[in-house]
Structure 1
Amino acid sequence: MAGFSGSTMEKPDSLMAYRPAACLPEPGCPRVEVLPLPGLARVQQSLCVRQWLQEAYPQYRLDETARPYRLCDAAGQALAGVSFSYMAGWAVLAIAGGADVGLDICEVLPVPDALAVATLYLSASAVRQIRAAANPAQVFAQEWVRFEAALKCQGQGIAEGAGEAVNAAGLHWHPFFTAGSAIGVLVTRPF
C-alpha cells in the first residue's frame, strides 16, 4: 500500500510529510493511503483525513452530502470515489478515479457471539463459512470487512439482513490486504 513511511507522527499538522501527486488515480487503479494517527480520538482522525484530502487534492472538494463520498471538480462533477476506515491509531483511505469505492479494515480478534452477529448482518454463505472455519475470528473479520466495504461502495449503512450487498452486480473486488493483525478489503463500482 502507498502511504506514509515511519511509524509515528508528532502532530496532526504534519500530515503532508508525505505529499502525493495531486492527480487522481486512473480508473481501475484505486489508490490506498495509510495515515498513522496515534493517540487521536476517532473524530480527530476523521478531521485529519479530511485535511489530508484537502491538502493532497486542493483543486477538488469532497462531497459528503451524498453517499458514497466523491471528489468533485469546481462544477460539482464527480471525478473519483472516496472511502475511509479507521482502526486504533490509523486511518486508511481509498480514492478511485471514475468509480465509487468502499474500503474497510478491522483487527482480527475473537468476537463474542460472532455467529449471532453474523446471522443478523452477514449473508447465509458467510455464516456457513464462519461456522466451518478452523479460525472463525479470521473468517468473521474477512466477511465483516467485505460486508462494510460493499455497503460503503453502494452508499448504504449497516442494517440487519443487508449481507447480500456483497453479491451486488457491478462490484469489482480487490484482493484482501493485511497489516499486522488487521485485515482489509477494497471494492469499486464504476460511476
Structure 2
Amino acid sequence: MDKIPMQTLQIYRKSNVISSDVRFKKIEEELRQVRIKYPMPPAIRHPEKASEKIDLGEPPKIKSIELQNKLRRIENQLNFWVSEYRGLIEDLLQVEKLLPKSNHSLNESDELALDNVHKIVKIEEMREKILDEYKNLSIRFEELSDKTKKQIRKLEDELSDSQAKAECLEFEVKKLKKHAK
C-alpha cells in the first residue's frame, strides 16, 4: 500500500475525480454507445435476417479475418487498460481508507505523486484512443461492406445482361436452324 501514498491522493483529489465504479460504468457505457452508433449491418451477413434486432452490446461479427483480429486486439487492449486503471484506483481508495484524515503525509516526493497521477491520465488517454480506433474500424467495415454490395449489384447486372444475350443468341440459332431446314 505504501507505494501510492498521501501526496498522490491529494493531487488526485484536486483534479475533481469521481469514484472508480462510476468511471468504469462510464467506460462500459462509452463502448456500448460506440457499438450502438456504429453497428455492423446484419443484412450483409444474413440478408433474410436484416429486419431482426441484434444485441448491440456484443462485439460485431466480422467476415474479414484481418478486421476480426484488429477488433480483438482493440478489445484486449481496452480490457488491459481498464484492469490497470481499476487496480490503480482501488489502491488509491484503499490507501485513502487506511490513512488518517489529516494533512499527514508519507515519504513520497511530489515528483512520484505526479507520476502516479500521470499514470491515471495516461490510462484515460489510452482508453480514448482505443475507443476512437474501434469507431474508425466500424466505419471502415461499413464502407467496405457498402463497396462490396455495389460490386455484387454490378456483377448481378452483368450476369443478367449475359443471360439476356445468351437467350437472344439461342433464339437466333433456333431461327437459323428453322430456315436451314
When normalised by structure 1's length, the TM-score is 0.22
- Which entry has the higher C-alpha Rg, 1 or 2? 2
When normalised by structure 2's length, the TM-score is 0.23
Structure with the largest fraction of strand = 1
Asked which structure has the greater RCO (Cα within 8 Å, sep 6+), the reply is 2
Structure with the largest fraction of helix = 2
